[in-house]
Structure 1
Amino acid sequence: MSSPAPDLVLVGLCDGELDSMRHHPTFMTSKVGGQPDVPSRLLRHFPCCSRCASALVHVVQVYCPLEGSPYHRTLHLFACPGEACCGRSECWSVLRSQCLEADTTCRPRPQQEQPLSATDWCDSADDWGIEQQQGDDGWGENAMKQTKHETAQNGTKAEDPATVDVEMSSKLKELQLGPSENAPPCFCPYFISVVEESDLFGEDRELAHAHELLRDYEKREGIAVRELDCDEDGGGGQERYEKTKVKHGDAVFARFMKMISICPEQILRYYRGGKPLFISEPPANMPQVVSACASCGGPRTFELQLMPALVSLLRGESSELQLEFGTVLVYTCRSSCWTSGTNKAVEEFCYVQSDPDQQLFK
């Protein structure tokens, strides 16, 4: 997902389950769940919850290089699955990783990353640490001669190659591929596909379906949400909406539902530099709530948000591993600052809003 042109909104959709036995995602893969993938020079880091100190679980990985930038760029969102934590902004974390093309070649993992993981089984992985001899494939004639010579010197009988293969296969079956011991449990992984929001209006059938969903919503809530023209007298470009009586008393929520009615299944909305869709009334001092970049001190800008449809995908092997939220807004450094040679990701800012309807079930 590259940074779109101004006023171009990208929508993320679930694009099928990511099978770790068949697919080998990298930091250039946009996905839900799984373990975070980072460039080889960066340390894989799991932040902790500032409230309960538990390790945060990886929620979403978004590959989002900026137009005109030489850097690859990836955002990782983490959250605490604790029931009392997941709806709090301070219990979420977003990390930004960047690297140059020259940094994407395979290198030995840092000392902390010694345990094997599924990504070590790619074409660029090493040959089990066995050096090849010139004119030999590592398991060919020269290797077999060496084995027979050593066993003869020790007075033992050389094992049959077939027996060696069987023993090697049994040992391989005992290998447990997966995250290191320090990695927390993870959500089931899914690919994310990206479409332009404007493309969702392409077919009359889809547009008619969107209008039908909107009419059903308005009928159910007893409202008629209609955008009015922006002020032309220098009103700051703020949108105004017809003040109608909403059953749940939340016109912001009504607007949110209207905007996503064209594609209710969207799990992510990307609009760097644009305006977020609030699901409930934001704080009056929202510009002050969004802190400055901790790395360079510069301002942050809105980049993306997680949508309610994502909640149903966030399920782990344990029924206790799940999240509840309305929307999660991500703000990143406007200049996307990065220090060359660093091995740590930059922490950005996220703001969590709960779903107003959740209060009806508590």
Structure 2
Amino acid sequence: MEFDLNGANISSLRISPFDEEEDEVQNNDTEDDISDEEEERIPMTLGFVDKAKNKWSLHRQYFPSKAGGSPAWLDPVNLPLEKSNLCDFCGDPLQFLLQVYAPLSEEWTFHRSLFVFMCPSMACLLRDQHEQWKRHPEKLSRSVKVFRCQLPRDNSFYSSEAPNEDGTEPSLTAGAPLCNWCGTWKGDKICGGCRRVRYCSGKHQTAHWRSSGLSHKVSCRQLETSAKSTELAASNSLWPEYEITNEDECELDTEMSAYNDTAGSLIPRTRVDGSHTKLLKDLEGDDDKRSWAFFQERISLAPDQILRYSSDAKAKPLWPVSSGRPSRPDIPKCNCCGGTRGFEFQVLPQLLYYFHVKDGEDSLDWATIVVYTCEASCQGNEAYKEEFAWVQLASQSSQS
């Protein structure tokens, strides 16, 4: 059974706005501390990755939530502006992490997707840690970026009716030409040889030319007389592609409770008999261990979850450790309207396992990535509005 991001029981997340509408308002908490595990638990929608049964379900006209591979741009023409696609530290194009389809009830947010990109370099992420603590800088340098895109029901890219769930839904408009190496960013640079293959940057052109097995050096002359170049990303360094499916955390709570009553416990007794509260009290004075214990207790319901989402105004992120959590002033205002940003979802480190990221000194790693978005989901002038991600590392020793 699948659930949409608002908890409605439907057959597919992709057609949720066509089936029903719900009033959703996001507001920040009034406290300086963004999270407190002792507060009343707010229902969350959990995201899980799985290989798509049908490849077409990840195409943009089916409004997917997906991780890895290349993004399914909601607005396929007006992509993020130049240089916003680069890591602000090394200058390389950012790599697509995941996207969440999260429509809201307003007319201009009938379709709404959030896209997360990051530099795969851990060295850049460590530099990013210092930058995210800067309040109100003239320019914030980041290696992790989030973009919000939204469209009304009537638009030039998609039908106003629910898409055909058989793979036959057409694209009403061709998208912008994309980089033939990463399949992610707009291909503004054209190969001088074949004049057909496009790139988003000189670095990706060089990578394509030198790649083993996929080298454009070999195929360039063949494409000079070809009708068109391949539309698929040639890079073999992209993260594996998955579909994101959803389930309500409260459903898991109910299932676990019923199972404990009938078949014995699969989790520590401290949680079942109520002494978990005592365990947390015993850890007072060590905030990081206390946060970690609570994090583990919540995650144990579904250890393979990679995403936690809520549109509830009172929802808060689940922090693995206490140190390195932001306070309200650390979350910048919306770049477009100047309004407050609120928590919407977080990405968990389990995703790194599915991306086959191996442990190593220089390997990419994080404790959680928390995404804050404009509470008003403002329209603005740009198709893709940049939002804010707060990254917490397992060790906060790098924090300034």
Tell me the TM-score range normalised by the shorter chain. 0.5 to 0.7
Conserved in 2, the CA contact under 8 Å of 1:56 and 1:184? no
Counterparts of 2:69 and 2:148, CA distance in 1: 17
2:135 paired with 1:84 = no
The aligned residue for residue 277 of structure 2 is 226
SS at match of 2:277: coil
Superposed CA offset, 1:214-258 (max 9, x none) = 44999xxxxx64179xxxxxxxxxxxx514379996211111111
The aligned residue for residue 109 of structure 1 is 175
Residues 18-167 of structure 1 aligned to structure 2 (within 5 Å):
20=55, 23-26=57-60, 28-38=63-73, 39-43=75-79, 47-71=85-109, 72-86=111-125, 88-89=128-129, 90-103=142-155, 104-105=157-158, 106-110=172-176, 112-113=177-178
SS at match of 1:329: strand
Counterparts of 1:34 and 1:306, CA distance in 2: 17
SS at match of 1:347: strand
Conserved in 2, the CA contact under 8 Å of 1:60 and 1:76? yes
Could you tell me which amino acid in structure 1 is paired with residue 94 of structure 2? L
Counterparts of 2:238 and 2:179, CA distance in 1: 20
Range that drifts further, 3-12 or 99-108: 3-12
State the shift of 1:34 in Å: 1.3
Q: 1:206 to 1:344 in 2, by over 3 A?
A: same
State the shift of 1:117 in Å: 11
Superposed CA offset, 1:109-131 (max 9, x none) = 34x54979999xxxxxxxxxxxx
State the shift of 1:191 in Å: 0.6
- The two structures have a TM-score, normalised by structure 2, of 0.60
Q: 1:210 to 1:332 in 2, by over 3 A?
A: farther
State the shift of 1:320 in Å: 12
Superposed CA offset, 1:257-309 (max 9, x none) = 11111111111000233111111114576111111001100000000001121
Conserved in 1, the CA contact under 8 Å of 2:145 and 2:388? yes
State the shift of 1:29 in Å: 0.2
State the shift of 1:84 in Å: 1.3
Counterparts of 1:117 and 1:93, CA distance in 2: 17
The aligned residue for residue 252 of structure 1 is 291
Q: 1:107 to 1:193 in 2, by over 3 A?
A: same
Higher Cα Rg: structure 1 or 2?
Answer: 1
Counterparts of 1:210 and 1:257, CA distance in 2: 20
Conserved in 2, the CA contact under 8 Å of 1:17 and 1:191? yes
Could you tell me which amino acid in structure 1 is paired with residue 78 of structure 2? L
| Structure 2, gaps ≥5 residues long | 8-23, 26-41, 130-141, 159-171, 185-225
Could you tell me which amino acid in structure 2 is paired with residue 54 of structure 1? D
Q: 1:41 to 1:8 in 2, by over 3 A?
A: farther
- The two structures have a TM-score, normalised by structure 1, of 0.65
Aligned length: 283
Counterparts of 2:248 and 2:231, CA distance in 1: 37
Conserved in 2, the CA contact under 8 Å of 1:94 and 1:350? yes
SS at match of 1:203: helix
Could you tell me which amino acid in structure 1 is paired with residue 277 of structure 2? R
Counterparts of 1:65 and 1:210, CA distance in 2: 40
The equivalent position to 2:333 in structure 1, one of 275, 292, 301, is: 292
The aligned residue for residue 194 of structure 1 is 246
Could you tell me which amino acid in structure 2 is paired with residue 226 of structure 1? T
Q: 1:50 to 1:67 in 2, by over 3 A?
A: same
State the shift of 1:314 in Å: 1.8
Counterparts of 1:117 and 1:287, CA distance in 2: 36
Could you tell me which amino acid in structure 2 is paired with residue 353 of structure 1? Q
Counterparts of 2:125 and 2:322, CA distance in 1: 19
Counterparts of 1:301 and 1:210, CA distance in 2: 39
SS at match of 2:266: helix
2:230 paired with 1:176 = yes
Counterparts of 2:264 and 2:349, CA distance in 1: 17
Q: 1:175 to 1:248 in 2, by over 3 A?
A: same
The aligned residue for residue 386 of structure 2 is 347
The equivalent position to 1:11 in structure 2, one of 17, 24, 46, is: 46
Q: CA RMSD in A?
A: 4.0
Q: 1:327 to 1:215 in 2, by over 3 A?
A: farther
Tell me the percent identity.
26
Counterparts of 1:43 and 1:186, CA distance in 2: 19
Conserved in 2, the CA contact under 8 Å of 1:207 and 1:262? no
Conserved in 2, the CA contact under 8 Å of 1:315 and 1:321? no
Q: 1:101 to 1:210 in 2, by over 3 A?
A: farther
Counterparts of 2:96 and 2:264, CA distance in 1: 32
Counterparts of 1:282 and 1:69, CA distance in 2: 40
